[in-house]
Structure 1
Amino acid sequence: MMKSQDVVVLLKLASLEDGEQEIGQQPARHGVATGEDPYSVRGLEAALGISKTEVSASIKRSLGSGLAIKDRKFGRPKPNRRQLREFIVHGLKFVFPAKPGPMQRGVPTAFAAPVLRESLHSAGSLISVWAYARGQEMGQSIEPLFKTVPEAAEKDERLYAYLALTDAIRIGNQREASVAANLLTERLG
């Protein structure tokens, strides 16, 4: 049975892959100690704030569901980008729906996040945020896919973009979700 943190782990793996492509096959170390393999369970724990046990279980569930595959060259898990994209675009909002909560200070997500801010202009004045004590914006709180998402997003800009697009799909109307899905498709390839 899939858990919401599985999506967070898969998006982090996609972010790591994207970083390698950008800087020429060197793993990006967002939130990971020097010398630590960012793809290892320990590296993912440091970057995401999800326990090693949960990261390991998450990877097993993702491999079992086909949302992750083993990299032939390195033997490490990597997201099955096409399957992950299909799941996020067509199934995520039904499996892990986002329910708007009270006004809180936090990190902008969905249409208020930098990745979408210029693409869509909302008629409403309320923005969506992940509640976070160090957040700078006031808005309507949205429960993140996992409680440590604000901290993980703070460490990794690409992961932040993936998670904000995912939230836009979870909470947006058809037009807004479509814009977010198109941007996610571009990024996930």
Structure 2
Amino acid sequence: MTDYWSLDSVLAEETIVPVRFNFGARGVAQVLDAGTSDHDVQAGSKINAPLWLAVALTRRGMSTLCPPEEYQERFRRKMNAGAECHNLKGRCPYFYDVGNKCNEFMQDPSLSDFLSHTYASRYRELVSRGLSTVSGEDMLELQSKLSFEELAIFEAGRDSVARVELWARGARARSSTLGLPTRKRTYGARAC
């Protein structure tokens, strides 16, 4: 999420994450949590905020970023059991970007390992299913489970296969015409 002009970066930073306030904050409770009747956020209160706000508050020391549910131990065990089966798009569309951004503040080496392992195991599935011929229904089912980062990789793989097939067909068509002998005709030239 380092590209300022990237729409995906902006959308990833809109992901809701939990934060715990280190200090009280006056008059902002209803803005941060529309369901509350309180006006003030008490010290130690846990609220859900967009990632961009949670990062800003955490950098200033006003709050502590808590790990979202998708990065807690319970979900990690489920993903380690079969990462390719889970629908990341429904849980956290920008799973890897949000995880890496959260980990900047949580400094959890096991989270980095978890993200790497999850990506590697899901990547194998992307390569095997994405580059092979898949029926329309299977492709839609697969695409519905992918995070936006994985979907970009999937589409790039499908595009590269299509380009190679197009190139191969063009190369075959050109090679069949290249095999014919050509005669050079000279008009108006005299023989010596």
Query: TM-score, normalization: structure 1?
Result: 0.28
- Which is bigger in relative contact order (C-alpha 8 A, separation at least 6)? 1
Q: Which has the higher strand share?
A: 1
Q: Which has the larger radius of gyration?
A: 2
Query: TM-score, normalization: structure 2?
Result: 0.28
